[in-house]
Amino acid sequence: MTLFGCAFKTELGYAAVRFNEHHEITGFLLPSSTQKSHDFLAWTEHKSFPQLEKAVVGYFAGKKTDFRKFSVSPADTSPFFQKVYAALRQVKYGETVTYKELAKKSGNPSAVRAVGSAMAHNPIPLIIPCHRVIQSDGGLGGFSAGGGVDLKKMMIDMEHPPAPPTANKKRAG
């Protein structure tokens, strides 16, 4: 199978994507100053993916973006991880899910640690939105993608803008 790839600039730096001839995403590199897209894209043929590029650039510019329209094909994943990723892709922009809830949605309510492992090994962060998975107590949990927990917090905060001020404030007398 031939893999293609490209890197493109976002407001946070360069992101990169790998995909196959069917435009199924096989890997994604979040923008981060600590990662090198040229290493990530080694052994791929250069080809643009303008629809995804536009969506990712828009996302990091603060636009509400739905990545579920893009097909994914995470390589070398177990059947359980595939179930976890499929369930996670149903979590919409602005929503979060706990590791425990995701284990239940994946058909194995006791597999909370395995869900954490699936998140840590997610080859397609953002498109498979592992940043939306949080702990039952509301804590962020980990984030092994480039940028770490700080990037996870930024992405969650970006998807949860503060509520507008209440218009029904009582006027002082």
Residue with tokens 């480039």: 146
The Cα 125–Cα 123 span in angstroms is 6
Say how many C-beta atoms besides its own lie within 10 A of residue 137's C-beta.
7
What are the distances in angstroms from CA 42 to CA 22, 39, 80, 127? 19, 5, 28, 21
Does 130 qualify as catalytic in the annotation? Answer: yes
For residue 138, the 8-state DSSP code is: S
Catalytic entry in 25, 102, 130, 133 = 130
Distance CA 124, CA 35 (A): 15
The three-state secondary structure class of 144 is coil
**C-alpha distances in Å from residue 55, one per residue of 49, 52, 100, 102, 168:** 10, 5, 29, 25, 36
User: Which residues participate in catalysis according to the annotation?
Assistant: 130
